[in-house]
Amino acid sequence: MHRKTVPLAGIKTAGLADGEFIGYASVFGNVDAHGDIVQRGAFSKALSSGATVPLIWEHKADDPRNFVGEVVTAEETAEGLQIKGRFDLESDFGAAAYRQVKGRRVNGLSIGYYVRRAEKSAAGANLLLDVDLVEVSVVARGANDRALIGAVKTAADRSTTGFRAALARDALTRYHTETKGNVMYGNRIQTLTKERDAHLATAKSILDAADSDGRELTADEVQRVEHATAQAKALDEPIQNAQRDAEVYNTAKSLAAEIGEPLNGRDERPADGTGAHLALTGAAAKTLARRIATQMTPQDAKGRKALLPSGSTVTDVPMVAESPFALGRVALSVLDVLTVTAQSPKYSYLRQTLRTNNAAPVADGATKPTSVLGLIEVEAALHVIAHMSEPIPKYWLADAAGLERFVADELLYGLRQALEAQVLNGDGTGENLTGIANVTGIQTQAFATDLLTTTRAAITKVEVQGHTPGTFVLSPADWEKLELARTDTAGQLELGGPIDRAARKLWGVPVTLSLGLPASTGLLLDLSAADISTDHAGIETIWQDSHADDFAKNQLRARVEGRFEVNVTNPLGVVKIATVATP
C-alpha cells in the first residue's frame, strides 16, 4: 500500500460539532517526492463505492486502538480531496487524537491507497488516474513545515484563500530551504543574491505579521507573498548562470596552473589523481547493499522484520578519500581511480585539445612567442544509468533472510558494470555517455611487434606531452597474455622485469582490469586527464508493486539508478592502445 502526506492545508475544526474536522487529504496537480501527480478524478471510483474509510493515527493499523474515527464525507474539489472526518470520542485514543488536533499540535493528513491505473506524463512524472482509498491518517506536522501553522477557519468558509495561503507559506519555506547556502562570491552573484533575499524578506515579513496578529493572510497578502516568492525564483537562473561563469573561470585558472609547469616538480596535485573516488567495488559496495537492505526492511517495535511493500530509499554515492594505488592496493575497477565531483544536471567544463609550447629566448624589444593552450568549452549533462530486478514474490523477501541485500548487491554490481562500460566506451549517441576511448583528440598507439613493446611506446607518448602515466586499463585476456609472456624482455618469473605480477604493474605503471573496453583495445591514462561527475541525489533504490500486474500477483521489483557523466579535460593525457595487430 502506498502512502502520501499533504503538508499544506492543515486541519480545520472551528465551527464544527465536537469531534469533527475538515481538511484536504490529497492535493491535485503537484509533483511529490516520488514523482507522482494525483489527477482530479482519481478518487471518483473509490468515493462512489460508498465504503467507509477509517481514520487512523499515523498509519499504525497494526493496533485496533489506533482506529480513531472515520471519514464522514469526501469530495473532489479543484484543489484536491476534501474530507470531513469525525473522531470517535467514546474511545480514549479517539478523544486524545481529537484533543491534539483541536490544540493544533497535530495538523496534517495522509492517505493510504493502492494504484489501480496510472500513466507517464511527457515530463516523466507518474499520473495517478485511479486510486483505491484505503484509509486516511492524522499525522504530526514536520519540524520544518511552517505552512501548517495556519489560523483555524470555520466550516462555512469555502473560499480558497486559506488553502492558497498555506500553499504560499509552504512554497516560500521549501524554496528558502532549498536555496540556502547556494551562494558563491563575486560582485555579480552578490548583487543578484541580495536582490533575491530582499524578495524573500518581503514575503517573510508579511507572514510574520499575520502570525504575530494571530490571524490568517488576507487575499491581498497571499497575492503579495506569491508575487515576492515568484520574483525570488525568477532570479535563480541569472544566479546559476553567474555561478557557471565563475566555475568556468576557476577551472581555467586551475588548468592554466597545471599546464604552465607540467614537469617542474612543483605541481601540488598528486600525480595519481588521489581525491574523492566512487566506491562501488569490494567491501564498500557490500556495505552500501547492506545499508539499502536495512533501510528497506526496518524492524518493528518487537524487533520483527517489517518489509516495506513499496517505497524508496536514497543513499549517498559512496566515496573514498584515496585511490587504491595510493594505498598500495590493486584497483578493482576504473571507477576506483577516477576522481568524482558533484555537478548540477547540466554544466560545462574546459577541455585542452592542443598544447603547443613556443616559449623561447627573446631579444630586447622583440615580440614574445605565443603558446597555444587549445582550450574549448564543453557542454555536458548527467545521464541516468538504471536497471531493475525481475518480479520477486513478496513472501520470498519476507521469509528469506538477506534476500533484499542480495538483490541490492546484484543491482549495484550491474550498475557499476554499466557505468564503467559507458565511462570507457560509450558512443555518445542518445543517452549514452561519450566514453574516454571515443573522445576526439586522444592519442593512439598502433600495435608494434608485441604487447610489451606497444605498451611501452604508449608511455612515451604520454610523457612527450608532459603528462604522467597513471594507469593502464586492460582487458583480463590482454593481462593474461602479458603475465604469460616468455620473451627475453619480459623475463621469466624473476624480479626486475617489466611485469610485476604481484603488484599488477606494467613498466612500473599500475594496471586496472576492465570488461568495459572495446575489443582488442587498451588505454593508458594520466589520472588528471579525466574524471566522473554525479549529482547530489545519490543512488536511488525503489521497491514497487505497481509495475504491470505485480500487485495482483503479490510481487515486488527493485530498481537502482543514478546520474553520471565522464569528463575528459586533457585528451592528450589519454592513449588508446591497439592490443593486437591489425589484420
Query: Is the per-residue pLDDT at 281 higher than 90?
Result: no
Does some domain include residue 441?
Answer: yes
Q: How many domains does the chain have?
A: 3
List the domain range (segments joined by +) for residue 493. 271-345+382-583
Residue 377 lies in a domain: no
| Range 437-453 average pLDDT | 92
How confident is residue 156, by pLDDT bands cut at 50, 70 and 90? very low
Q: What is the mean pLDDT of residues 207-211?
A: 80
- Structural domain includes residue 354: no
546 and 473 assigned to the same domain: yes
Contact criterion met (CB below 8 Å) for 452 and 498: yes
The mean pLDDT of 427-455, rounded to a whole number, is: 92
> Which pLDDT band holds residue 180 (cuts at 50, 70, 90)?
very low
**Segments of 7-145 assigned E as strands:** 11-12, 20-27, 36-38, 54-57, 67-76, 80-87, 108-120, 126-139
- For helices 219-234 and 161-179, the axis angle rounded to 10 degrees is 30
Give a yes or no: residue 358 inside a domain. Answer: no
Do 228 and 293 reside in the same domain of the chain? no
Per-residue model confidence (pLDDT) at position 361: 94
Specify the pLDDT at position 269. Answer: 34
Share of the chain above pLDDT 90, in %: 21
User: What's the per-residue H, E or C state across 262-309?
Assistant: CCCCCCCCCCCCCCCEECCCHHHHHHHHHHHHHHHCCECCCCCECCCC
Asked which of 76-85, 235-244, 262-271, 574-583 is least confident by mean pLDDT, the reply is: 262-271
pLDDT band with cut points at 50, 70 and 90 for residue 158: very low
Residues 176 and 86 placed together within one structural domain of the fold: no
- Angle (deg, nearest 10), helices 187-213 and 161-179: 140
Q: What pLDDT is stored for residue 512 in this prediction?
A: 92
The verdict on residue 90 lying in a domain is yes
Q: What is the pLDDT of residues 57-69, one digit of tens each?
A: 988 888 889 999 9
Angle between helices 187-213 and 219-234 (to 10 degrees): 160
Point out the domain boundary residue: 127, 153, 179.
153
The lowest-confidence range among 251-255, 428-432, 550-554, 559-563 is 251-255
- Looking at the fold, whether 553 and 422 belong to one and the same domain comes out as yes
**Helical pair 236-260 and 187-213, crossing angle rounded to 10 deg:** 150
Instruction: Round to whole Å and give the CA distance between 249 and 317.
Output: 27
pLDDT at residue 460 in the model: 95
Q: Following DSSP, what letter does each residue of 294-359 receive, concatenated?
A: HHHS-B-TTS-B---SSEEEEEPPPEESS-TTTTT---SSGGGTSBEEE--SEEEEEEE---B---
The phi, psi pair for 75, rounded to 5°, reads: -145, 150
Q: Where are the beta strands (DSSP E) in 419-554?
A: 443-445, 471-474, 499-500, 505-506, 509-513, 521-525, 530-534, 539-544
DSSP labels, 133-168: EEEEEEEPPPTT-GGG------TT---SHHHHHHHH
The alpha-carbon radius of gyration of the chain (Å, integer) is: 30
pLDDT value for 492: 47
**Looking at 118-122, 401-405, 467-471, 479-483, which range is the least confident one?**
401-405
Asked if the structure places residue 239 within a domain, the reply is no
Choose among 214, 211, 200: nearest CA to 146: 211
What residues form DSSP beta bridges with 513? 474
> How far is residue 562's CA from residue 419's CA, in Å, rounded to a whole number?
10
Whether residue 145 is found in the same domain as residue 41: yes
The CA distances from residue 131 to 111, 388, 557, in Å, are 11, 24, 20
Higher pLDDT, 343 or 70: 70
Regarding whether 94 and 38 lie in a shared domain, the answer is: yes
- pLDDT tier, 462 (very low <50, low <70, confident <90, very high otherwise): very high
Single out the residue in 124, 153, 182 at which a domain terminates.
153
175/101 same-domain check: no
Going by pLDDT thresholds of 50, 70 and 90, the confidence category of residue 435 is very high
Q: At what angle do helices 476-483 and 451-464 cross, to 10 degrees?
A: 110
DSSP-derived secondary structure letter, 119: E
* Cα–Cα dist 59/51, whole Å: 18
Instruction: Of 7-21, 138-152, 443-457, give the lowest mean pLDDT range.
Output: 138-152
Q: Which three cell numbers stand for residue 308?
A: 516495506
- What percent of the chain clears pLDDT 70, i.e. is strictly above it? 71
Residues 6+ apart with CB under 8 A from 230: none
Burial of 130 (0-12, 13-18, 19+ CB in 10 A): middle
Q: How confident is the model at residue 522 (pLDDT cuts 50, 70, 90)?
A: very high
In order of 223, 245, 580, the CA distances from 250 in angstroms are 41, 9, 42
Residue 334 domain-assigned (yes or no): yes
> Which pTM was predicted?
0.50
Q: At 319, is the pLDDT very low, low, confident or very high (cuts 50, 70, 90)?
A: low
Mean pLDDT of 159-181: 51
477: left (phi over 0), alpha (psi -120 to 50) or beta: alpha
By C-alpha distance, which of 534, 242, 276 is closest to 381?
534
Shared domain for 183 and 319, answered yes or no, is no
Highest mean pLDDT among 120-124, 339-343, 373-377, 476-480: 476-480
Asked whether residue 121 falls in the same domain as residue 177, the answer is no
Give the pLDDT mean for 265-282: 48
Which of the pair, 275 or 112, is modelled with greater confidence?
Answer: 112
Instruction: Give the mean model confidence (pLDDT) for residues 129-150.
Output: 62
Q: Are residues 60 and 188 both part of a single domain? A: no
Strands 277-278 and 319-320 come out as: antiparallel
Confidence of residue 336 (pLDDT cuts 50, 70, 90): confident
Q: In whole angstroms, what is the distance from residue 510 CA to residue 330 CA?
A: 7
249 lies in some domain: no
Same domain (yes/no): 230, 327 = no
pLDDT in the model for residue 309? 45
Q: Do 214 and 98 belong to one domain?
A: no
The letter for the amino acid at 428 is G
Instruction: Report the C-alpha gap between 408 and 295 in whole angstroms.
Output: 11
- 356 has pLDDT over 50: yes
| Cβ neighbours for 212, distance < 8 A, ≥ 6 positions apart | none
Tell me what the pLDDT averaged over the chain comes to. 76
Pick the last residue of a domain from 205, 234, 263. 234
